[in-house]
Amino acid sequence: MVAATLRRHTAAGLLASTLALTGTLLAPATPALAADPAYRSLRTAANPDWMRRLPDSAGLAALSLPGTHDTLSIHGGAWTQTQENHGDSAATLAAQLDAGIRAIDVRLRINGGNTFTVHHGATYQQANFDDVLRVLGTFLTARPSETVVMRLKHECTGEVGSCTDATGQLGFADIFDRYRAARPGLFWTPSVDRTTGAAVPALGAVRGRVVLAVLHGPRGGRYGQYGLAQFADWGHGSSTYVQDDYDVPNVGAIATKRDRVRRHLDATSAGDPTRMYVNFASGSSVFATPAAVAGGALGVQGVNPFLLTYLNEGPQVHPPVRRTGLLMLDFPGGGLVDRIIAVNAFG
């Protein structure tokens, strides 16, 4: 039963439901390391307009973009929280954008009035989709040299531990279209056409816009042809250009997760520069919280400090990383964000 239901969109809610029913109070058995340049120090980075140094001709797929997994998940306890809490109503997103984050992962519930609220599993994250779009619009208006790549996911399965959508509402894609139409010019238009997947654009075509990478259903299926055509097979977890092996069954398995991230990073660096690669550094389970996987625990190095070391190592250790693609992080540190941005060649 546990094995069958441990999926990223339900694991945290399932655990919370179990604790509520049993009255048992558990504390994380695997406390993560203290804040450092790779972990839980987002505000030490300040890169609000770093993309202005890149040429318009640069392909978006060829870039190295720091990103966040479950971007707005700041409530719900140790098994649900994936990001530092910089405030509700998408203030946390604003802090990430100012630090230099340019790829985001937003999970939504269908709410009354044909609206979206932000969830991680059963937990409402004290933000609505209007907040997300307001923050993005304000940021991109002030920083027109920038772009933000968004992965959007319908979160609710209705299963134990997940959320349940409000009844009597429009379908997810139809509600999304209403939001898009209410904010003309915010999204890069080819990426929000439900009938035709978009080619990966050059940076100059999307400055000041949000690029939708994919619109996912609650079990990973893709809604229509929204997003980039190359992600047609991106379902639940990993796919051709995506590493998302999110199940880290215990603290010892963090080493396996580190290796999967490294292998995909190497493949990205050596791969087709016209294809966008996505690498989720995140992972969790009942026995390994997102913070433990990101920051480390019980003497096991976390993914984030490993990444910072790997990116800093010279050619005498391994071939240098020339591109990270979209590197999706839990609890990123400012030093790691800075280092991912530095992989881009500024001329």
pLDDT in tens, 96-138: 999 999 999 999 999 999 999 999 999 999 999 999 999 999 9
Other C-beta atoms lying within 10 Å of the C-beta of residue 347: 7
The maximal CA–CA distance of the chain, rounded, in angstroms, is 61
Return the closest-CA partner of residue 331 out of 300, 312, 310, 308: 308
Q: Is 224 helix (H, G, I), strand (E, B) or coil?
A: coil
Strand partners, 258: none
- The answer, yes or no, to whether residue 7 has pLDDT greater than 50, is no
Residue with tokens 């055509």: 229
Burial of 250 (C-beta count, 10 Å sphere; 0-12/13-18/19+): middle
Note whether 154 and 217 are within 8 A (CB): yes
Burial of 93 (C-beta count, 10 Å sphere; 0-12/13-18/19+): buried
- The answer, yes or no, to whether residue 246 has pLDDT greater than 70, is yes
The pLDDT tens digits of the residues spanning 300-334 come to 999 999 999 999 999 999 999 999 999 999 999 99
- Span 160-164, average pLDDT: 94
Higher pLDDT among residues 315 and 30, named by residue: 315
Task: State the amino acid at position 134 in one-letter form.
Answer: R
Strands (E), the chain: 64-68, 103-111, 115-120, 123-128, 148-154, 210-216, 242-243, 278-280, 296-297, 300-301, 325-329
- The answer, yes or no, to whether residue 23 has pLDDT greater than 90, is no
User: The domain 36-343: what is its CATH number?
Assistant: 3.20.20.190
The first and second tokens of residue 274, run together, are 């016209």
Burial of 86 (C-beta count, 10 Å sphere; 0-12/13-18/19+): middle
Give the C-alpha separation, 116 to 294, whole Å: 29
Give the C-alpha separation, 136 to 119, whole Å: 18
Give the C-alpha separation, 162 to 90, whole Å: 21
Note whether 200 and 275 are within 8 A (CB): yes
- The answer, yes or no, to whether residue 5 has pLDDT greater than 60, is no
- Span 187-205, average pLDDT: 98
Task: State the amino acid at position 86 in one-letter form.
Answer: H
Q: Within its chain, how far is the Cα of 138 from the centroid?
A: 20
CA distances from 73 to 97, 253, 272 (A): 15, 23, 32
- The answer, yes or no, to whether residue 27 has pLDDT greater than 80, is no
Give the C-alpha separation, 48 to 346, whole Å: 16
